[in-house]
Amino acid sequence: MKNKVTNIISWLVIIVILILAFNFYKSNNFNDFVRSELNLHTSDFKRDNKVKYSKSSSYKINSEELNDATFYKKVKVQKNTPYKVTCMVKTENVIAENDISGVGAQISIIGTTEKSTAITGTQDWQKIEMIFNSKNREEVDIGFRLGGYLGKSTGTAWFSDFTLSEGTHTENEDWKFACFIFENTDVVMDDKEIKISMTDNDIYEIKDTIKRFETTAYELSQKSMTADCDVYKISNPITKLTYDEEFGYFVASEDIEDSIKDIISKNDYDHIFAIIRLGNDEYMDDIEINDWIGLRIYGLLWHRIFKYKITKFF
């Protein structure tokens, strides 16, 4: 009888150990993802079986202190090919260390500035995407990140349902453009407040130029391409300019992302035009502006010149 009780107790202990080991495995199995932190041993990485979007456990990053934390996987790609990465993300109390909108829960390619839109605050599950071209690369490190190359953040983010899609060319030649006219600029530079506004005549001339662009695209393509432009006036001022030693001050994607992402997410655009006044007679000497610089809105565009086929799952 004593031996029987001992055997039962032994089996119970073994079962408990196996359950604990299995739960530990489920919480720490990242399926070949590499975990990385700017400040080591600051953030907590877990697989969460309670907060999840689908049947599989979500990937959770929690940063009580400011950090740039990510888990990433090396993925093989074809050269000069468009790709789209998507995932579902949920956030809780995500706060960036500064006002840059490019910091938060996001998708990114490690070691580059290529990224999706960044989610902050407390928000329920939503889909985010990042579109990139492989160029001359044969592999990239795709990361799911709390923070960003622009700065650190605190809070908690859950990531789930990762997909990687490869693009192929399509014959669609009906192009849609989003043209955002930013009416006001209100920035502080070197302790000096600079306010610049477009006039009604400025806006009239811009709209007229956009109309002529639509006509020119149709005529130069010998009626094989159409350019359909939707014009949006943004009254909320731009409050930050980015500085580059080569180009001077310019408006980076992070400076306007919050103002346009809701419109972009609800529409299917091929390209974005951001039209901004950065100088007038009063401030031309105060804002160093060279001829022009290209503006790319990472992760906000679905390029209809490509169609995407899901080829891999993470």
d(CA 120, CA 125): 12
The 8-class DSSP code of residue 33 comes to P
pLDDT of residue 255: 85
Give the start-to-end residue ranges of the domains of the chain: 1-30, 32-169, 174-304
Q: What are phi and psi of 11, to 5 degrees?
A: -65, -40
Q: Which pTM does this prediction carry?
A: 0.74
pLDDT of residue 6: 60
| Strand pairing class (174-182; 226-234) | parallel
pLDDT of residue 20: 47
pLDDT of residue 101: 74
Token pair in block for residue 279: 């100088």
Rounded to a whole number, what is the largest CA-CA distance in the chain?
Answer: 99
- Consecutive H or E run containing 124: strand 121-133
| Strand pairing class (104-109; 139-147) | antiparallel
Contacts of 227 (CB under 8 A, 6+ apart): 175, 177, 213, 214, 217, 218
Classify domain 32-169 by CATH number. 2.60.120.260
Token pair in block for residue 118: 């960044």
pLDDT of residue 5: 53
pLDDT of residue 272: 86
Q: Look-up: residue for tokens 């990687």?
A: 164
40-78 pLDDT, tens digit per residue, is 999 999 999 999 999 899 999 999 999 999 999 999 999
Beta bridge partners of 90: 158
Which residue in 239, 275, 267 sits closest to 254, CA to CA?
Answer: 239
Q: Look-up: residue for tokens 């993470």?
A: 314
Q: What is the pLDDT along the chain (314 residues), one digit of tens a residue?
A: 656 656 566 555 555 554 444 454 454 567 889 999 999 999 999 999 999 999 899 999 999 999 999 999 999 999 999 899 999 999 999 999 987 778 999 999 999 989 998 999 999 999 999 989 999 999 999 999 999 998 999 999 999 999 999 887 666 788 899 999 999 999 887 788 888 899 999 999 999 999 999 999 889 888 888 999 999 999 999 988 877 676 677 788 788 888 888 898 788 888 888 888 877 666 555 555 544 444 444 333 334 445 556 555 55
Which residue in 143, 159, 203 sits closest to 54, CA to CA?
Answer: 159
pLDDT of residue 192: 82
d(CA 34, CA 68): 14
Say if residues 37 and 68 touch (Cβ distance below 8 Å). Answer: yes
d(CA 34, CA 145): 12
104-137 pLDDT, tens digit per residue, is 999 999 999 899 989 999 999 999 999 899 999 9
Say if residues 4 and 12 touch (Cβ distance below 8 Å). Answer: no
Which residue in 253, 254, 287, 290 sits closest to 272, CA to CA?
Answer: 253
